[in-house]
Chains A and B, each alone.
Chain A
Amino acid sequence: MEKESAEVKELGLSEEELFSHYDHNQYESEKVTAPRYSYWKSVFRVFFRQKINVVVLVLLALIIVFAYIYPAVTGYAANHEEMYNMNAADNSTKHLTPDKAISKFGFSLSWILGSGSQGQSTFDALWYGSSISITLALICALINMVIGILLGAVWGFSKKVDIVMTEVFNIVGNVPYVLIIGVLIQILSPSFWTLVFAMTVTGWLGIAYFIRTQVIVIRDREYNLASRCLGTPILRLTMKNILPFMTSVIVTLAAAEIPAYISFEVFLSYIGLGISDMTLGKIITQTQAFLAVPEWGFEYWSPIIVSSIIAIILYLVGQNLGDASDPKTHM
């Protein structure tokens, strides 16, 4: 004891500074000390804990840059038709493999994937098409998710709505999706917004049904029962008790939705129900015939590979974000 205090004295501090009297404080004693917890901070902490997510995010950033900024910089976004047909008169520019295109035009990013049937740059056309496809997928997913989540929550809560909506779901679910889209495209014009309308007019039903099932599962749990007994209004119950619980489910769902719309757009173009814009699907469909010529196969595989990469990256980001947004992983 003596020795210890001697050591403390060596620090050159007075006894008051080391130990000071503290009054008993009733309020302070009620406080429970726990590490500060912020939901979204934890989400990102968990998300970045996995190194692969950093790589995936960098790739996502690259995709965004190429799809949205690159066409604007090259001027492709502004006058894509003109750029597309730039070399149409010159036959020697058509169907070039990358090495031939680079040796013909000199090295630039535009020619690293060769040239297409009109002598256009495959790389430029591809990213411009990707931007349309990604935008389409994002808009459709956003509309469907918002309507689906809101209506799904109501659907799950109200038993009356449930009876009606389940019938509607059973009937609309049996009308082939392709039929609805095909008919709508024929009634209206094959334009971007028609496709958005066609994909969202019944597309939200599936999401709403999924959310409804989730809400029903959570709705009657004890903590909600307790909350309701204490007189919490339904709206606050939904917003504060149920939707936060479902954040990870919703993010995971959105992760699967966005690539699904890209994929569906490719499918629609392939079966001839696509839109007039040069989307990824349309590029794939148009270049499909070139597969028969061995040297031209590159033109077909480029959009296939790029669309696959975009879809996988979008899916991975969403999926891993969904995992990270599950509070159970925040320990």
Chain B
Amino acid sequence: MTKYLIKRILHGLISVIIVVMAVMLLVYNAIDREKIFMQDPLIQKKSSNEKEVYKYQAWEDYGYLDYVPYADWLKELVKNGEITEDTRAAVVKIAVKAEQDDPDVAEYVRRFTEYYEGKGYTVSRLDAVYQTNGATLVKGGSQRLFAYKNVPIIVRMWKYFTGVIKIDNIHYAEEVTGERGIKFTFHDPAYGGDKFSPAITGNGTKYRYLLYFDNRFPFIHQNLVTVNLGLSYSINYGVDVWDTMVLPQGAIVKADTYYPTGFVENSSNDLHTLRYSAGSLEKGGEFMSKRFVDDYTITTTEKNGLSKMGYSFIIGIIASLIAYLVGIPVGISMSRHQNKLIDKIGTAYIIFIIAVPSLAYIFMFRAIGMSFNWPVTFNGTPKAYILPVISLALKDIGGLMRWTRRYMIDQKNSDYVKFARSGGLSEPEIFRGHILKNAMIIIVHGIPGTILGALVGAIITESVYTVPGAGGMLVNAIQFYDNAATVGVAMFYALLSVTSLILGDVLMAMIDPRISFTSKGR
């Protein structure tokens, strides 16, 4: 069993990798890269060479290519000690045309070209663009020199997968005040230092708090292992897709905050999320030194709402629970009273759910809900959950009714049931003891998928009721050409589906002793 499971997991991981590769090929190579600027307001204001350079910068940000301006290369040389700051300042300014370059500048330009062309880059020099009168430059028309190289898919994938899971370590920070190390405390300083609350803190790590408790579900939190699915810019600019899914949303909450200096303030900063940022204490001036003692200064704000995934999950899981509690019993009684009234009503409902576009019946449910005065726009109150949950549940109920009925009726005509009947068992006994158990095996197979699927969210339901859930993320990312987010979300979906299939098989094997994944016993 273990061997089989390991094989399945490895197999699943390989298919996830191939999925990511396929998605990367689709979004990075198949879509015209100029299209990412279609909804970009910044590019409208730029013109000439500046616009061209802006595009390369953006492409680098979105992971299309590696872009190095001439000035950056010189800075790198200074940093490595190959040239002095004075030389850099002397040669950094290139002339409007290559022929007019200073001999010194020309030499460095040659070296730059040689170095990067040797590495397979394309070096591009944009001459200054003059207005028609020939005297003044057009806006953004100054000369530029840079090198760029397309990132091959293998490199992109390698970078991506090595960066997906990061484990924090005490050598993360470049410079730290005090000694690097990990400390355990019973009295979390973020609560003023008196309250009993165990926490593990680190010095030299990316996050100050590696493990801590607070009053938010699931009460124990960690920052040791972080997930990075790729930076998104369409949903939350510059925030990782994973964080976008799991960080709380809504209005900020203020509470008494005990800063490391002992300063107490009514603030929304969540000190448990303290993150290292080199030199931030110095840059922040008095404001920072009043509150912080070292470079751990970046926090996220505390908000009162749930995360995108949180909303989706709560709605999804309640809906699934209702669906199982209603759908299975109704399906069973439909199969028991085949071709009777309940079966006919149930079948009509199933046909309605299968055939009618989901958008249509969600709006029908919405209209019905409105007549009960239930809120149709989501605001986080318990009442606002009613309609999204019902809309989702009614759909799932249809599916569960359909399959439960189908399996039960198939089982009803099988030989073992006929045998049980000839043995004199009553119909309820046969249904409970024989048919139900066998029919449930396939239903059980879908349970892990249902639970994990709730994390993904429901795209139409959430959009109709304006739930700030995770359902629309993929579509959003595609529409805004947010490649990193598309890849990240697609990988998350693929992982979920692979996991739920494996879990489903395991669960099925657990409840049905006849199913065995090892060749033994067969």
Contacts and interface: CB of A to CB of B under 8 A. Distances in A.
B359 interface: yes
A113 interface: no
Contact of A174 (B460, B481, B497): B497
A155 interface: no
Interface size class of A (residues with CB under 8 A): 35 or more
A172 B364 CA distance: 34
A304 B362 CA distance: 11
Nearest to A262: B357
Contacts of B342: none
B475 A263 contact: no
A256 B472 CA distance: 26
B89 interface: no
Contact of B354 (A167, A180, A259, A267): A259
A109 interface: no
Nearest to A186: B31
Contact of A178 (B357, B475, B497): B475
A187 B474 contact: no
Q: Which of B354, B472, B493 neighbours the largest number of chain A CB atoms within 10 Å of its CB?
A: B354
Nearest to B22: A175
Given A174-B16, A271-B475, A307-B360, A183 B31 contact: yes
A180 B130 CA distance: 45
Interface of A is mostly: helix
Contacts of A307: 356-357, 360
Contacts of B479: 182, 272-273
Given A171-B18, A175-B490, A187-B32, A273 B359 contact: no
B27 interface: yes
Contacts of A173: 497
A256 B498 CA distance: 26
B196 interface: no
B359 A266 contact: yes
Contact of B490 (A176, A263, A281, A300): A176
A316 interface: yes
A57 interface: no
B23 interface: yes
Interface size band for B: 35 or more
Nearest to B35: A186
B364 A304 contact: yes
B19 interface: yes
Given A179-B478, A263-B357, A271 B463 contact: yes
Contacts of A291: 363
A174 B475 contact: no
A182 B15 CA distance: 22
Interface in B358-376: 358-361, 363-364
A128 interface: no
Nearest to B364: A304
Contacts, number: 110
A315 interface: yes
A308 B357 CA distance: 7
A151 interface: no
A13 B16 CA distance: 89
Given A304-B364, A308-B360, A179 B351 contact: no
Contacts of A281: 357
B26 A176 contact: no
B155 interface: no
A278 interface: no
A182 B475 contact: yes
B232 interface: no
A136 interface: no
A316 to B, nearest CB: 7
B26 A183 contact: yes
A284 interface: yes
A267 B358 contact: yes
Interface in B456-494: 459-460, 463, 472, 474-475, 478-479, 481, 486, 490, 493-494
B30 interface: yes
B355 A179 contact: no
Interface string A279-304: 00100100000010000000010001
A312 interface: yes
Given A171-B19, A178-B478, A182-B479, A266 B360 contact: yes
Given A171-B22, A267-B460, A312-B355, A304 B474 contact: no
A237 B363 CA distance: 49
Nearest to B487: A179
B351 A266 contact: no
A294 to B, nearest CB: 11
A312 B356 contact: yes
A314 interface: yes
Given A174-B494, A186-B478, A273-B478, A179 B359 contact: no
A270 B498 CA distance: 28
Nearest to A172: B22
B31 to A, nearest CB: 6
A308 to B, nearest CB: 4
Interface in A204-237: none
Contacts of A266: 357, 359-360
A174 B359 contact: no
24 contacts: A171-B15, A171-B19, A171-B22, A174-B15, A174-B19, A175-B19, A179-B26, A183-B26, A183-B478, A186-B35, A187-B32, A259-B356, A263-B357, A271-B472, A271-B475, A284-B359, A291-B363, A300-B363, A304-B359, A307-B356, A311-B356, A312-B352, A312-B355, A316-B355
The 3 closest A-B pairs by CB, nearest first: A263-B357, A315-B355, A182-B478
